[in-house]
Structure 1
């Protein structure tokens, strides 16, 4: 049948060109992006799988960085302990030297000068050693579960993939004291005044008890009290909060805080009160046995030798724990890198374009496109033959 209105051959050529151009566009897109899957239409299941793999890979890569940061923190911690060990060894050497009776009391006093300076420096290192702004040797870093000194290292791409290590409080406190002093005795026409001076180092959980006459009040030191730059700043905060706590409960007495000193004044002239304050201190610090050591005589020197052996053993135990965790973290990081590599390779098989295949497809579709264009031209010319019938 010969017709003009409907050119079947032209329609067939057009449909073939549309399909071929779609394949040509896909091939060009793959070659341009390097990806086999550029939209969900390309491979819906493959896109979902690759998306999950991408989350896993980025999580693994961040976990690798977490692990390396964790090792760095622990190395900093152990580095401080190395110097503490060196100083304790020197202190023990001084104790051995001082225990010899060839030295006079004056000589031992000279030895004790260095001994006390080294002891103070050991304690200072435990308070001032920081990593990323966190004091890592004094047990004041609080975990979300309320545990002090506990660190959770996220070594995995998913929730709960952690390695936990607790760094002990390696220091010892400077003696914390709350001492009452009566400045003006009770007499006719004069209101009694007493002052309470706070000194030393307080820790979370320490309780200060103040008793005025028959009324007493307790104040428990909390973390917020200890955020100052040093012990002096912390004492001012504690004194302020202690004044608020006692002033709210003490009858007939005015309580004022100035720096680290609280002043208690009887509201009625001529009236007086008995006053005292006590500390209930939390026992903290792995090296607390070193705090009161001296080498001023033979007996003290021998005691120092024994206690320093205990302190050195405690540091060695802590360092051994740090070393074990650092080795574990190193192996964990190596494993994470291996898993990340293999997961990336798996994702590549799903997502990435095969350039040999895509370039062959491009060449094929380009040739077909040219041929289809030629055939469409021929199909459009064929209706012209109908004019031959009309000319007869």
Structure 2
């Protein structure tokens, strides 16, 4: 059919050129940006997935930096503790030297001069060691009402944390507030061996982690160290856990249980073949397990020097424990950072498969659309020439 007003072939060629032009423009955009998805119209679901992956990746990368910052802070604290340990060891050395009666009063005074200076410097380091403006050793930093507790955000999402409390106390700080323990033995005597003795330990006062409770049962000494959980639960929790520990320790012939608020009941089991008689001896006491009365120490006499040795032993053990805990957390944070890096790497690879342009495929698509675009243009020119043939009919 020969027509002029409606050139169907031209319209077909125009549409083909439009479609191929759109495909070519999309391929050029992908090649220019390096992204397969540039708008939501390109892949709506893929855009949402890649956006969530981006949030995770950026969160993971920041968490790695957080973990490394935490390592740096703990290394700063541990480095200060190294010097504290060195000075405490020197103070103990001076105490041992001063305890020797070959020293005169003047000699001990000279030794005490260095002792007091080291004590002051130890206190200064504990009070002034900072990281990013925050004191890290004196427990003045408070997070969630817990003194000395640092929480490190080591995940891409909320509450993915590692926490650590640095339990190093300043000189003269007695963490146990009136902690005490008393032992009251109630002996029951009777003519028969089946009658047994029941004795009690009353745990009273406020305890803190590191406090020591010593129980002497029939010349067998058992020492219980109060834990963080015990201290948080109060004297009743201390009594409960002490009873469990005693029951395990003195399992031959004795039973320990809780029989009231802060009261540990110890019963002689006469039926046990290893036990004879119906009574036993029981004594108990408690000591503060942390930095007790260091501020008041001196080595001016043999007696005070011996006291200093015992007190400094507790202090050195406390710092050693704190350093060991910090070292363990540093290792944990290192592994956490390595894991976060690995997860971030895999997440980036996953996002790349969704979001990034496949250049081999897209350049092939560009070449295809360019050829089709050129062909469509040529055909459009031919279609526009077809109406010219109608003129021959009008001659």
Q: TM-score, normalised to structure 1's length?
A: 0.70
User: What are the ranges of 5 or more consecutive residues in structure 1 without an aligned counterpart?
Assistant: 176-283
Secondary structure of 2:162's match? strand
Q: 1:318-376 deviations in whole A, cap 9, x for unaligned?
A: 00110010000000000000000000000000000000011111111111111110000
Q: 1:233-270 deviations in whole A, cap 9, x for unaligned?
A: xxxxxxxxxxxxxxxxxxxxxxxxxxxxxxxxxxxxxx
Instruction: Indicate whether 1:127 and 2:127 are aligned.
Output: yes
Partner of 1:91: 91
* Aligned counterparts of 2:168 and 2:92: Cα–Cα separation in 1: 21
Secondary structure of 1:165's match? strand
* Aligned counterparts of 2:62 and 2:173: Cα–Cα separation in 1: 41
Instruction: Indicate whether 1:69 and 2:69 are aligned.
Output: yes
Partner of 1:245: none
Secondary structure of 1:289's match? coil
Partner of 1:382: 386
* Aligned counterparts of 1:344 and 1:127: Cα–Cα separation in 2: 44
CA contact (8 A) 1:168 1:286 kept: no
The alpha-carbon deviation at position 173 of structure 1 amounts to 4.7
The alpha-carbon deviation at position 170 of structure 1 amounts to 2.4
* Aligned counterparts of 2:148 and 2:91: Cα–Cα separation in 1: 27
Instruction: Indicate whether 1:347 and 2:351 are aligned.
Output: yes
Partner of 1:19: 19
Secondary structure of 2:56's match? helix
The 5 Å alignment of 1:214-363 reads 286-363=290-367
* Aligned counterparts of 1:165 and 1:154: Cα–Cα separation in 2: 12
Change (3 A) 1:174 1:146: closer
Partner of 2:118: 118
The alpha-carbon deviation at position 293 of structure 1 amounts to 1.4
User: What are the ranges of 5 or more consecutive residues in structure 2 without an aligned counterpart?
Assistant: 175-287
CA contact (8 A) 2:149 2:165 kept: yes
CA contact (8 A) 2:53 2:347 kept: yes
Secondary structure of 1:163's match? strand
Q: 1:78-106 deviations in whole A, cap 9, x for unaligned?
A: 00000000000000110111111111011
Partner of 2:136: 136
* Aligned counterparts of 1:40 and 1:85: Cα–Cα separation in 2: 61
Partner of 1:55: 55
Secondary structure of 1:290's match? coil
Partner of 2:36: 36
Misfit runs of 4+, over 4 Å: none
